Structure 1
Amino acid sequence: MFCPKCGEEIKDGSKFCKHCGTQIKSKTAGDKPPKPVQSSSGDDRNKKIIIGVLIAAIVILAIVFVGFGTGLFNNASPNAKGAGQVQSAPAQNSNAPSSASVSLNSFPVSEAPALAQAIKDANGNFPINFKSVSLSKAQCLYILTKSISEISDGHPDAKISVGDPSYAPHPSGRDASQTIQRANYVDMSKRFSSWIESNNAIPNYVGIYTGGVSDISPARMLDICVSILIEYGNTHNLPASINV
């Protein structure tokens, strides 16, 4: 038999437990010892395991949030994507300059603003190396004046056959400072480009329909067209007037 208190084995019929001294009530020989009280050490160990798992999960989540917040995971190789995922195409910059080549036989009017900027950046040095062509001062004058005419007539996508006009042998004009309205500079551009087409040469000057205002030299006409087309390239509208 077994002691009901400490669970130790004692002789059958014993009145007291020789181990703990507890009085033994009469029991049958087949009685089993009482179930020992479970120690609390097992519960403490389980609690520690649970706490450890929670701490590890919090640390992992913190690393993930910091990684996404700092862009750590944004530079992953495209090869790391799953087979069913489709990588999005990079966004295109609508303000990026066109990389299309140009030719003297078919110069796009849409390239005139970029050419005007190239002329301004060249600080009066010619020829201008623009994309796939080299342009003389006379060719630039024709392209810019013709482009202003085409844009004014509603043909911003037109193409120009440039040719090889000669520059004015004796350019004249006093080039006084003034403000030229859109209707006037468009008319000047049309007359200037028409003269080039008819004579394969740059006119010595271009007249302006303003009383008491001097005629304009080819050099000043180039400056006027450069300013007009740079502003057009930024706003997609011909300016209401231009100061020269």
Structure 2
Amino acid sequence: MYCPKCGEEIKDGSKFCKHCGSPIKQRNAANETSSNVNVSSGDDDKTKKIIIGVLIVAIVVLAIVFVGLGTGMFNGDASDAQAQQATDGGQVQQSTQSSQPVSLSSFPVSQAPALAQAIKSSGGNFPVQFQSLSLSKAQCLYILSKSIALIGNGDPDASISVGDPSYAAHPSGRDNSQTIARENYVDMSNRFSSWIERNSAVPNYVGIYTGGVADISPSRMLDICVSILIDYGNTHNLPASINV
């Protein structure tokens, strides 16, 4: 070992330097080792705490992400956009309907599919409330059959003067299941609505130009018209045939 003051070499364990007489401080190896151990141990504990903290934060973040994905928390912008789009669409539809008000003197053919849906939703109970109107079964029959006749003849933008026809005095006809082609049901609708116009009343039945097929009652005619116009409202085309 060397003297810390004069730098001369002296024996290990010497208490004084033989050259300059300075006292020599002895190192406590045990204390130094213990201190190093304690410092090292403290660093390890601190590192472990940091790692545990990071893991806890990561777990919490992952849990929030999974919960957010499951509940749609992060789809807020898309949901808002869809809701706004639906609102805008509803406003456009409402605006379109409001630009074509319905009345007994002028009922737009374009509103016939919506009336057909209202009749279906009513479960066959009359009068049917449609916008500002309270429509009887006879009025509904005329509006729907006339609308099909006009659409079939290429005039879907027409308006109908409804009036107040009476219902059939002696309704008859057998409501057999059958398939009616487009040209036939358009013809039926034309003859049915024309009868109402001439007589201010619903006919007792409507016939089909097919041998052996029974006449159709007014109630079945209403079902046929409702089905046709609901289909037309969805596709903007009259169906090729209708099953009744």
Interval containing the TM-score (normalised by the shorter chain): 0.5 to 0.7
Q: Secondary structure at the match of 1:88?
A: helix
Match of 1:153 in 2: 153
Q: How does 1:38-53 map to 2 (within 5 A)?
A: 39=36, 40-41=39-40, 43-44=43-44, 47-48=47-48, 50-53=50-53
- Matched length: 220
Over aligned residue pairs, what C-alpha RMSD do you find?
4.2
In 1: Cα distance, 2:139 partner to 2:156 partner: 19
Distance 1:163 1:49, change over 3 A: same
**In structure 2, what residue type is equivalent to 1:165?**
P
Structure 1 length normalisation: TM-score? 0.66
| TM superposition shift of 1:89 | 5.7
**Secondary structure of 1:65's aligned partner:** helix
Helix, strand or coil: the match of 2:113?
Answer: helix
* Alignment-derived partner of residue 127 in structure 1: 127
Q: Match of 1:237, SS?
A: coil
CA spacing shift, 1:164–1:25, aligned 2, 3 Å: farther
CA distance change for structure 1 residues 148 and 72 in 2, over 3 Å: closer, same or farther? closer
Distance 2:15 2:47 in 1: 36
Counterparts of 2:46 and 2:125, CA distance in 1: 85
User: Which structure 2 residues correspond to residues 1-244 of structure 1 after superposition, within 5 A?
Assistant: 21=14, 24=17, 26=19, 39=36, 40-41=39-40, 43-44=43-44, 47-48=47-48, 50-71=50-71, 73-74=73-74, 88=81, 90=83, 91-92=85-86, 100=97, 102-244=102-244
Letter in 2 for 1:138: A
TM-score normalised per structure 2:
0.66
Unpaired segments of 5 or more residues in structure 1? 5-9, 79-86
Shift of residue 55, structure 1, vs aligned partner:
2.5
Q: Which runs of 5+ in 2 are unaligned?
A: none
Segments of 4+ moved more than 6 angstroms: none
Contact 1:16 1:23 in 2 (8 A): no
Give a deviation string over 1:135-172, Cα, whole Å, max 9, x none.
Answer: 11110011110121233234445433322222233344
* SS, match of residue 92 in structure 1: helix
What SS does structure 2 have at the residue aligned with 1:144? helix
Distance in 1 of aligned mates of 2:57 and 2:142: 72
Higher helix share: 2
User: SS in structure 1 opposite 2:185?
Assistant: helix
What percent identity do the matched residue pairs reach?
58
